[in-house]
Structures are given as C-alpha cells and as structure tokens.
C-alpha cells in the first residue's frame, strides 16, 4: 500500500513540474497580452499587469478582418485534414498489408515528402499552381498541402502492428479488400486517425510560407499570413520590434480553436478504445 | 466511422458559431477589406497595387488607397495587396515570370538595381514629366537614387536616414542638457560615459549610454555612416567592382564601435534589441531610423527626443534608404497610365505619409511647409537629408548588403562586436568576401 | 498463415491511387526539378543558365560550410534523442490514471499548437541577454548573465531548449496514441507473473511500440535536420554563423540572394543526407527485429 501511495505522489510531483515548465512561457504570453502597450516593456518583468486591459485583443479584432482570416484558415485546415485522411488512410493500409510489385520503391518516394524542404520547390509549385489557375483560391492552398507522407507513414506503422486475426476472420467471411478496410481496419485505427487529424490540422493552421506566396489577396488570406504581414512583422529582429502586447493577444486568439480541437480529441486517448473491437 | 463524422460536424458547428459571432465586429472593420467588397463600375481601369512597406505603416497607405478610390477623377480603381518586403521581392519575380505582376508597387531604393537588372521594372523616364514630376521638386539624392544609368525607374516617395534618439529624462538625471544633444565625437563620448552607471548601487552597471546590436542591418549601416563621414571614403570602388572600405577610414570607424563596447564600456555586451532596451530605460541613446518612433511613442513615461547623427569625423553623413513607387513592365499602356495617376496622388499626399508614418518627405514643397515644421521629432532627420547616403547600387545588392548572419557586413560587425576577431582581421576577411561576391 | 496472395496489383492500386494522384502533381514533379536546377544558375526570371557542378563546388569551397554542416548534425542528434526519449516518458506519465491528466495533457500540447513565429518571439524575448526574464532571475540568484542567443557557443543549444518546449507535443501525442494500442491484458499478465513496472516497460511497452518509435525517430531526425524557423526568427543564423543550418542557408540563398541554383544544390545535399540517415535508422530497426 505504501509503495502505491509513494508512486502516486511521485507521479503527481512529476506532472506538476512538467506542466510548470510548459506553462511558464504561456503565462508570459497571457500576461503580456493583458498589458497596455506602454507597460509591456518595463525594466523589471511584472507577472501581474499593473493595469489590466483588453485593448490589445480589441485592437486585433477590430482593426483587422481577424475573423475573416480565421474563417479562411478554418476552411483551408478543414479541407486539408479531410483530403489528407481520404488519400492517406487507404494508402497507409495498402503499404501495410497489401502486396504489390514495387511497393517499397513507391513507399520510398512517399518518404521523400519528408526529406525535401518545402521551400526548395516552392517557386516551381507556385508556377504550376498559377498555370492551373489555382492562385488565390482555397484549392490552391489545400491540394499542395495534402501530399505529405507523414500521415501515410503513420497509418502504415500503426496498421502494421494490428493483430491479423480480425482481418483473417473478415476475409473468411467473404469480405473484399475494401470491406476489410472499412469494417475492420478503420475502427481500429482511431487513435492514429485522431493523431493525424491533430497534427495535420495544426500544421495547416500555422502554415505560413505557402499561403504567404500563394494567396496574399484579402479574399483567401489565412490567419498566419494576415498576422505576419498586416499586424506584425516577424521577419527578423531588425528594424521593427514587434508590438509585443498585440502580438501575444493575436497569438492567443489564434490558438483557441486548435486547443479546443485538442481538448475535444484527447479524450479519445483512453486505454482500451482500440481493443474493444477485438471483443 | 460515425465518430469521425461527429468530430467533423462538431468542428463545423464551432466554425459556424465563431463566424456568427463575428458579424458584430465585422462592421467595425476599417478599410482593410474594402477592396473585396466595393462594387467596381465597369468603365474604371482596375490596377493592382502592392503595399510592401510593412506593419505598422502600411495602414497609412491603405487609407490613402481608399481615399483615392473614392475621390479620383481618373476613372481608376486600385486593388491593394498587402505584403511584407521579403515576400514582395520574391513574389514579384514569380509573378513577373507567370505574366501576372501588379501594376504598381512599393520598392526600396536598395532593391531598385536588382529588379531593373532582371528586367522587371518599366522605364519611367518619359512618363515622369507627363505626370508632373520634375527634378527641381525633389531632394537631389532621392531623385538621383531613382535612376539607374540615365533612365528613371521609380517615383521617389520618402527617405529614411539614421539619426540619434536620446532619453530626455535620463539626460536630465545625468546632468546633461537635453536641449543640446551631442553633435561631435567628444560630446558623444562624454554623454555616453555620463549615462553609463550603476543606478542601484549593487556594483554592476545597469544603465548604459548607447544601445547597439551586434547583428542585423543597423550596426553595419552605422559603421558605413561613420565611414562616409571621412572625406573621400567609399564602400566600393567607383565602378562598384571592388571593395574600397578596408582603409584607415574603415578601420578607424570600426575600432571606434569596438571601443564603445570594450574600452569605454558604454554599450552593453552582446546586445540584441537596442530599441527594447531604449524603451525600458536601460540605454540612454540609440541610433535608428524614423521607423522606431512608432514603438517609442507608445511607451508611457518615455520622454525622448531626436538629434541628427553626430559628426564624428570630417563631415556629416548618414546612411539612408528610400521608399519609391515602381511599375512592373507590363507594357499595358492604359494600366501604366492609371498607375502613374495613382502615383501622382500618393506623391501629392506625401505629407500625410510623413505625419502618420514618420518617414521623411522627399519633396521640397513638403519639407519647407509649415505642417512639416510642426513635426518636432522629424526635424533631426530632415537636417541629415542633404548628406544621406544610399548603398552603392549594385546588381546583387541582397547578397552583398544582406542582413543575415552569413552576409559579409553582418560578419564584419558580429566578429568585431562579439570580439571574435580584431577590427583589422574582420575588415580583411570581409574584404575578401565582398570581392568574391562582386566578382560573380 | 494468412495468405495475402489473392490480392492482386490492381486492388492495391486503387488504394494508392488517390494519394499518388495528389502526390505526383503537387509534389513529385515540382520537387524533382530541384535536381536539374542545382546544375544551373537561376534568379526566377528568365531562363536558367547551365553551370554544371559550379554550385556544388562553391558549396564545398565555402569556408562556412563545415560549420553549417556540423551545426545541423549536432542539432539533429540532440533534438532527436531528447525529443524521442522525453516524448515517450511524457506520454507514459500522461497515460497514468491520475486526476487532472486531461489538463496536463492539454498544457503539454499547447506549445505545439503555437506557430513557430510566435514561439520564437516569446523565447527570443525570454532569452534576451540584458535583462530578459531568464537572466533577470539568474541575476537575482547571484548568477551571471548567460548569452543564450548571443553567445556563439551557446546559441544552438538554446534553440534546442526552445525546440523541446515547442515540438514535444507532436511526439507525446503520437506515443499516447500508440500506447492506447497496447492491450491491457499484456500488462495484467505481467503483473500476475510478478514483473516490476520497469520490467513491464522494457519487455512489453518498448517492443510493442517499436514501429511507432521508428516513426518518431525518423520524423524527428528528418524534421530537425531541416531546422529553419527557429533560426530565422530568433537568431538569423548567428551569432557568427553558429545557428546556421543547411536549410536556413538554402532558404537565404533562394529568397534573399535569389541564387536558386545554389539553393537547389544545398537542398539536394540536405535531402541526400536525410535519405542516408533514414535508411540507417530503418536498417537498425530491421536488425533489432531479428
């Protein structure tokens, strides 16, 4: 009994330390965002703002079409996530289970997406997109971002280690490949799907380089582009220092949705949900 | 599967709720989205304008665009696209290549040569008199800066030189007279040393005379200013094919900056954000361009003033760059005419640009106006205008005068100010680098 | 054993088709062009000029190249090791059935959700040498200032610290998901047999997680080898080139100096090295299966 209590205390202590480490910079952000511009740069750092104010948030929301940018980001992120799942899940299954000639070569080619820096081919991609008439459109933002092999790789690894019994049973019952895929594999792959949704969504939400080049028009401007170009110049610490209060307010506003998404999804990480299918 | 749809449905619901809540704030929006919501009458010529001046000044141009669209008699509608400089310089090349460049864009004087060399910009020499732009109306350096060879490629819009900012409160506290800012080497050193002290008696210096970063663009622009203050000194040879800065003048200027940090100790070591330090009251002076006023103005209890860059050596000189307006060479006469009309409008309203964005005007009429005289802090910069120096105009400007850690002049300043090479060693090394780059 | 022979080429093809379609059009064709481009000189406008191996020669003759290479390798090795091990440990910690773990998970994930630009700004600000937050507290403890981002010997490691804060969410989420896939029965059986929790960890958790561990290390290595954002926002490759990585240099050459041929050559080299690193990892993984 004592051993169990000690390990529990230890666990709680560790948890506390870890969350403290991760929380501190976030607290810095929150504190800064609530300070009026004139007090952000005081000689000694103040955790509690001398004067609480929401003027930074008001500024960001009113001076800029913040919600339009957010909507654009939402559309692009949603589109990217959905398209990624649609193309990556079957591909992951194919690489994990199905036999075909040249599978390894094909998989290596998929892995190339992780190994070539994106900006290395940005100019060519941009020229291609323009020729296809996709410049300044949502599809122009979604399609190139759905080529990442990260999800394919994840699904392959995950499906590979699923026990084969269920698939065998389904095949013996007369299921086709697609039947096995939909009825057996998909339900079991839920944690991986959730993982893929999270990081595809986050990557798309924060993506700056491609939307910056491919769609700077107001109509499809996404949040990171709007923030970095209209609100503050992240460029480099050269001529302009960013207005920290506004930066932090804008940043905190922009992470609300992704954080909500994660809070909503993380309860799927409950032990046993993947194995219920076996019973 | 059903669970997946439920997730998507919930996400959709979230976004709908979010969008619904936005209607209240949307009505409070400013001109930023006007370009996508206004109805454009069919007869108007629509032109695309790239506003690359960056935050926070870009809102001033946006307001001017809106005013133009509402009041102009030229039958022109301007569609504005807001970018930052980096994106603008890359995207202009890409869009020119695909045949979809904008009709008019902001450009810096330092970026002019490169873009002209690539054939991107239209020759405006014949347009200028047509639209009322004459040499006599402009500051000489700005007017000349818009020429490459004997052809003119841009409409000068502003000039932003370096000047001295100083903290009035700290000056008074230190017994210095804020009405007489340092104007010579001795005065400057005196002020810097007086300002450097230990304010809370704990044995460590916590207030310094000057703030100067060790990297980025500003340190080497300051060094160049000091170099140019020596009579006859130049960065590059007359034909811009070789480095010419590894001279006594170059060495003296560099050693001075080194000494400020390590001998006189008036600059904090390894300083990264001098503007931040100035705003926090850690440093009493900082050398920067007009753009810093935005931030400085927002700080409570910061009382500051500006002064021309002190004359450290033989003559006045200060580094400067300019914003200009250029037209990509679309060869579409109607649209180029429309773009020039818009340029004319912007130029006529450059006082507003100065008042709200702080950059110096280049038109003599504005400089001599009463409204300009009222802008207290701008006067220091205006004094410097006749002695403002641009970078030499070269083809690979972005390579040679780049601002990241691998660029030659950044290497020069970093090595010196971080004490990893002696000033002479640094000059030798960078001379080699620059000559290599120029040879390409 | 279960025979997969009855699945024919066409069938697998249908599963792969959607992905391959998007892949070929929007990735493969543009990406492949960096190889021919690396043998040219091109500034986006006009036709590329063929220069043979000039770019590669310039790269290897550049006196700063060895440093850039070593920066990249040091960073990659450190980050991959730390992020993998820490990510796994964190995932296990966050998988314990304790109250408040949902909150803890969210907090640990939150940095990952913040864009690299904002994360970079925060940390650059905290790392400020003169009177930045961290150094201010150090000073109060009587310790000297540390030039987190301004000392050429430390800057790279400071970026590692920032990166751990920022990216660990990815690994933790992935490992958490993988942990769910381990049947509870295995642990119960082990407990019945009298195994300690450490033994369970070694003999159940790790083997079960092997495919995912490979996934995480491959991705980590590939990603950290391509480190760019942090250097761009926090240090601009400095001080004195101590935080310049291959990709950072490649980016600057492409979009600041407009030497796309040279930049492409750097990208080709980067990609080649990553391929080699990945192959090594996969081989090692296969070897340990035996």
| Per-residue pLDDT reduced to its tens digit, C194-242 | 878 777 788 888 888 888 899 899 999 999 999 998 898 888 888 999 9
- Segment C101-112 mean pLDDT: 80
What's the confidence (pLDDT) of residue B353?
92
- Structural contact between residues C176 and C91, judged by C-beta atoms closer than 8 angstroms: yes
- Segment C8-16 mean pLDDT: 68
Tokens 């760059």 correspond to B321
What's the confidence (pLDDT) of residue A21?
79
Residues A218 and A83 in one domain: yes
Tell me the H-state helices in C181-259.
Answer: 184-192, 197-200, 206-225, 229-230, 246-255
Residue B410 has pLDDT above 60, yes or no: yes
What's the confidence (pLDDT) of residue A179?
81
Residues of C in contact with A44 (CB under 8 A): 131, 136
Rounded to 5°, angle at Cα C103 from C98 and C107 = 125
The whole-chain average pLDDT of chain A stands at 82
- Segment C60-84 mean pLDDT: 94
The whole-chain average pLDDT of chain B stands at 87
Q: Which of C44, A40, A15, A272 is nearest to B398 (CA)?
A: C44
Cα(A91)–Cα(A98) distance, integer angstroms: 10
What's the confidence (pLDDT) of residue B39?
52
pTM: 0.87
Q: Is C46 left (phi over 0), alpha (psi -120 to 50) or beta?
A: left
- Structural contact between residues B163 and B384, judged by C-beta atoms closer than 8 angstroms: yes
Tell me the H-state helices in B27-54.
Answer: 34-37
CB-based contact B280 A238, cutoff 8 Å: no
- Segment C88-102 mean pLDDT: 82
CB-based contact A146 C26, cutoff 8 Å: yes
User: Tens digit of pLDDT for each residue in B32-54?
Assistant: 333 344 455 567 889 999 999 88
pLDDT-derived band at A250 (thresholds 50, 70, 90) equals confident
Residues of A in contact with B320 (CB under 8 A): none
Q: What are phi and psi of B147, to 5 degrees?
A: -100, 140
- Segment B133-152 mean pLDDT: 93
Q: Which is higher by pLDDT, B4 or B267?
A: B267
pLDDT-derived band at A167 (thresholds 50, 70, 90) equals confident
Residues of A in contact with B398 (CB under 8 A): none
Residues A92 and A42 in one domain: no
In this structure, how many other beta carbons lie within 10 angstroms of the beta carbon of residue A62?
Answer: 15
Q: What is the DSSP letter of B184?
A: B
Taking the CA of residue C252 and the nearest CA in chain B, the distance in Å comes to: 8
Q: How far is CA B142 from CA A198, B109, C164, C240, in A?
A: 52, 9, 48, 34
Residue A276 has pLDDT above 70, yes or no: no
Q: Which of B114, B215, B270 is closest, CB to CB, to C129?
A: B270
Cα(B216)–Cα(B213) distance, integer angstroms: 7
Residues A94 and A11 in one domain: no
pLDDT-derived band at C290 (thresholds 50, 70, 90) equals low
* Residue B204: partners with Cβ closer than 8 Å, 6 or more residues away: B198
- Segment A107-115 mean pLDDT: 90
Pick from A56-60, A187-191, B359-363 the range whose average pLDDT is largest: B359-363
Taking the CA of residue C261 and the nearest CA in chain B, the distance in Å comes to: 14
User: Tens digit of pLDDT for each residue in B223-270?
Assistant: 999 999 999 999 999 888 999 999 999 999 999 999 999 999 999 988
Q: What is the ipTM of this complex?
A: 0.84
Cα(C26)–Cα(C55) distance, integer angstroms: 26
Residues A54 and A150 in one domain: no
- Segment C1-21 mean pLDDT: 65
Residue C21 has pLDDT above 90, yes or no: yes
Q: Which of B39, B234, B195, B87 is nearest to A213 (CA)?
A: B87
Residues A72 and A52 in one domain: no
Domain map of chain B by residue range? 41-161+321-388, 167-318+393-439
Residues A55 and A98 in one domain: no
What's the confidence (pLDDT) of residue A241?
60
Q: Which is higher by pLDDT, A210 or B20?
A: A210
CB-based contact C33 A124, cutoff 8 Å: yes
Q: Which two tokens stand for residue B105?
A: 């864009």
pLDDT-derived band at B304 (thresholds 50, 70, 90) equals very high
Q: Identify from A22, A92, A207, A270 which residue to disrupt to test chain C contact, counting C C-beta atoms within 10 A and taking the largest count.
A: A22
Residue C95 has pLDDT above 60, yes or no: yes
Residues A36 and A72 in one domain: no
- Structural contact between residues A42 and B282, judged by C-beta atoms closer than 8 angstroms: no
What's the confidence (pLDDT) of residue A4?
67
Residues of B in contact with A79 (CB under 8 A): none
Q: Identify from A7, A25, A128, A226 which residue to disrupt to test chain C contact, counting C C-beta atoms within 10 A and taking the largest count.
A: A25
Contact C236/B at CB under 8 A = yes
Residues of A in contact with C122 (CB under 8 A): 25, 28-29, 248
What's the confidence (pLDDT) of residue B439?
82
Residues A151 and A215 in one domain: yes
Contact B2/A at CB under 8 A = no
Q: Which of C105, C111, C121 is closest, CB to CB, to A234?
A: C121
Q: Which of B86, B121, B125 is nearest to B102 (CA)?
A: B121
Residues A182 and A258 in one domain: yes
User: Tens digit of pLDDT for each residue in B203-217?
Assistant: 788 899 999 999 888
Q: Which is higher by pLDDT, B167 or C98?
A: B167
Residues A167 and A227 in one domain: yes
What's the confidence (pLDDT) of residue B4?
46
What's the confidence (pLDDT) of residue B7?
46
Number of domains in chain A: 2
User: Tens digit of pLDDT for each residue in B306-360?
Assistant: 999 999 999 999 999 999 999 999 998 899 999 999 999 999 999 999 998 889 9
Q: What are phi and psi of B30, to 5 degrees?
A: -95, -165
Q: Which of A29-33, A188-192, A275-279, B74-78 has the lowest mean pLDDT?
A: A275-279
Cα(B326)–Cα(C202) distance, integer angstroms: 66
Residues A138 and A157 in one domain: yes
pLDDT-derived band at A232 (thresholds 50, 70, 90) equals low
What's the confidence (pLDDT) of residue B254?
96
CB-based contact A213 B91, cutoff 8 Å: yes
How many Cβ pairs within 8 Å bridge chains A and B? Answer: 141
What's the confidence (pLDDT) of residue A40?
80
Domain covering B167-318+393-439 assigned CATH 2.40.110.20 in the classification: no
In this structure, how many other beta carbons lie within 10 angstroms of the beta carbon of residue C93?
Answer: 18
Q: Which of A264-268, B361-365, B424-428, C18-22 has the lowest mean pLDDT?
A: A264-268
Residues written for chain C: 290
Residue A275 has pLDDT above 70, yes or no: no
Residues of A in contact with B86 (CB under 8 A): 235
Q: How far is CA B77 from CA A136, B40, B65, B127, in A?
A: 20, 7, 9, 20
State the residue range of the domain holding A49.
2-59
The whole-chain average pLDDT of chain C stands at 87
Contact A274/C at CB under 8 A = yes
Interface of B with C (CB under 8 A): 86, 89-90, 93-94, 96-97, 114, 118-120, 206, 214-216, 268-273, 276-277, 280, 282, 396, 398-399, 402-406, 410-411, 414-415, 418, 420
- Which of A11, A44, A59 is at the close of a domain? A59
CB-based contact B396 C257, cutoff 8 Å: yes
CB-based contact C19 A90, cutoff 8 Å: yes
Three-state SS for B244?
Answer: coil
B41-161+321-388, CATH topology level: D-Maltodextrin-Binding Protein; domain 2 (3.40.190)
Q: How far is CA B249 from CA B230, B379, B408, C48, in A?
A: 6, 29, 18, 41
Q: Which two tokens stand for residue C17?
A: 């088709």
Cα(C211)–Cα(A153) distance, integer angstroms: 10
User: Tens digit of pLDDT for each residue in A207-226?
Assistant: 888 998 888 788 889 988 88
């Amino acid at each position: 009994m004592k051993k169990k209590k000690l390990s529990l205390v230890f666990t709680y202590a560790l948890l506390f330390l870890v969350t403290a480490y991760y929380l501190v910079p976030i607290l810095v952000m929150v504190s800064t965002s609530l300070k009026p511009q004139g007090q952000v740069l005081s000689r000694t750092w103040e955790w509690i703002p001398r004067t609480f104010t929401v003027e930074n948030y008001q500024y960001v929301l009113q001076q800029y079409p913040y919600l339009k940018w957010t909507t654009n980001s939402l559309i692009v992120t949603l589109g990217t996530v959905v398209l990624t799942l649609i193309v990556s899940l079957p591909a992951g299954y194919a690489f994990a289970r199905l036999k075909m000639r040249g599978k390894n070569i094909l998989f290596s080619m998929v892995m190339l997406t992780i190994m070539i820096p994106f900006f290395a081919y940005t100019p060519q991609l941009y020229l291609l997109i323009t020729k296809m008439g996709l410049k300044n459109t949502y599809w122009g933002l979604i399609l190139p971002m759905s080529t990442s092999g990260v999800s394919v790789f994840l699904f392959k690894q995950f499906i590979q280690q699923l026990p084969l019994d269920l698939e065998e049973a389904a095949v013996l019952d007369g299921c086709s490949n697609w039947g096995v895929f939909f009825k057996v594999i998909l339900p079991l792959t839920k944690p991986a799907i959730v993982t893929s949704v999270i990081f595809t969504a986050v990557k798309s939400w924060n993506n700056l380089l491609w939307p910056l080049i491919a769609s700077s028009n107001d109509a499809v401007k996404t949040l990171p582009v709007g923030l970095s170009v209209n609100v503050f110049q992240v460029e480099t610490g050269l001529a302009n220092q960013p207005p920290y209060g506004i930066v932090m307010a804008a940043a905190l506003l922009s992470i609300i949705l992704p954080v909500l998404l994660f809070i909503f999804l993380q309860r799927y990480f409950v032990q046993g949900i993947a194995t219920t299918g076996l019973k | 599967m059903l669970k997946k749809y439920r997730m998507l449905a919930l996400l959709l619901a979230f976004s709908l709720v979010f969008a619904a809540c936005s209607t209240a704030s949307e009505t409070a929006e400013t001109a930023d989205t006007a370009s996508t919501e206004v109805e454009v009458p069919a007869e108007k010529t629509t032109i695309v304008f790239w506003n690359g001046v960056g935050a926070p000044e870009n809102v001033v141009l946006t307001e001017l665009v809106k005013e133009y669209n509402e009041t102009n008699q030229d039958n022109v509608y301007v569609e504005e696209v807001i970018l930052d400089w980096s994106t603008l310089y890359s995207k202009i090349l890409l869009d020119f290549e695909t045949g979809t460049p904008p009709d008019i864009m902001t450009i810096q004087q330092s970026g002019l040569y490169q873009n002209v060399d690539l054939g991107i910009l239209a020759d405006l020499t014949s347009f200028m008199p047509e639209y009322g732009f004459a040499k006599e109306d402009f500051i000489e350096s700005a007017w000349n800066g818009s020429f490459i060879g004997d052809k003119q490629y841009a409409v000068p819009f502003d000039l932003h030189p370096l000047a001295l900012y100083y903290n009035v409160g700290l000056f008074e506290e230190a017994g210095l007279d804020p009405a007489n800012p340092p104007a010579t080497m001795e005065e400057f050193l005196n002020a810097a040393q007086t300002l450097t002290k230990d304010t809370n008696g704990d044995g460590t210096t916590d207030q310094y005379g000057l703030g100067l970063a060790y990297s980025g663009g500003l340190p080497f622009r300051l060094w160049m200013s000091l170099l140019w203050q020596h009579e006859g000194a130049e960065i590059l040879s007359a034909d811009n094919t070789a480095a010419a800065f590894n001279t006594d003048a170059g060495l003296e200027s560099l050693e001075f900056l080194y000494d400020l940090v390590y001998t006189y100790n008036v600059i904090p070591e390894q300083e990264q954000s001098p503007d931040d330090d100035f705003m926090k009251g850690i440093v009493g002076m900082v050398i920067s361009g007009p753009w810093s006023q935005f931030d400085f103005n927002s700080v409570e209890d910061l009382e500051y003033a500006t002064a021309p860059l002190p004359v450290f050596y033989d003559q006045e000189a200060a580094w400067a760059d300019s914003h200009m307006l250029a037209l990509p060479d679309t060869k579409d006469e109607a649209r180029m005419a429309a773009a020039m009309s818009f340029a004319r409008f912007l130029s006529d309203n450059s006082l507003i640009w100065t008042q709200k964005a702080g950059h110096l005007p280049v038109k003599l009429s504005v400089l001599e106006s009463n409204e300009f005289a009222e802008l207290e802090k701008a006067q220091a910069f205006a004094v410097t205008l006749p002695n403002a120096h641009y970078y030499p105009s070269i083809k690979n400007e972005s390579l040679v005068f780049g601002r990241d850690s691998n660029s030659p002049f950044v290497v020069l300043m970093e090595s010196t100010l971080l004490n990893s090479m002696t000033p002479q060693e640094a000059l030798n090394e960078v001379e080699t680098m620059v000559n290599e780059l120029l040879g390409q | 054993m279960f025979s997969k022979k009855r699945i024919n080429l066409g069938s697998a093809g249908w599963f792969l088709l959607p992905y391959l379609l998007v892949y070929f059009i929007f990735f493969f064709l543009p990406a492949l062009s960096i190889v021919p481009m690396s043998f040219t000189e091109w500034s986006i406008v006009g036709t590329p000029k063929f220069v043979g191996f000039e770019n590669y020669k310039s790269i290897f003759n550049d006196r700063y190249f060895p440093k850039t290479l070593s920066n990249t390798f040091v960073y990659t090795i450190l980050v991959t090791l730390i992020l993998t091990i820490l990510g796994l440990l964190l995932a296990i910690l966050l998988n314990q059935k304790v109250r408040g773990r949902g909150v803890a998970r969210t907090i640990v994930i939150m940095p990952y959700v913040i864009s690299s630009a904002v994360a970079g700004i925060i940390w650059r600000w905290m790392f400020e040498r003169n009177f930045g937050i961290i150094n201010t507290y150090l000073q109060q403890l009587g310790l000297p200032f540390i030039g987190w981002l301004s000392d050429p010997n430390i800057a790279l490691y400071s970026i590692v610290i920032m990166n751990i804060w920022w990216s660990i969410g990815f690994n933790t989420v992935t490992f958490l998901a993988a942990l769910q896939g381990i049947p509870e029965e295995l642990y119960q059986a082990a407990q019945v047999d009298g195994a300690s929790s450490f033994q369970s960890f070694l003999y159940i958790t790790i083997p079960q997680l092997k495919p995912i561990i490979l996934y995480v290390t491959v991705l980590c290595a590939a990603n950290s080898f391509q480190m760019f954002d942090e250097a761009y926002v926090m240090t601009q490759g400095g001080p004195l080139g101590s935080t310049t990585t291959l990709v950072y240099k490649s980016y600057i050459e492409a979009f600041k100096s407009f030497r796309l041929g040279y930049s492409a050559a750097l990208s080709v080299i980067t990609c080649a090295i990553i391929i080699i690193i990945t192959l090594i990892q996969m081989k090692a993984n296969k070897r340990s299966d035996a």
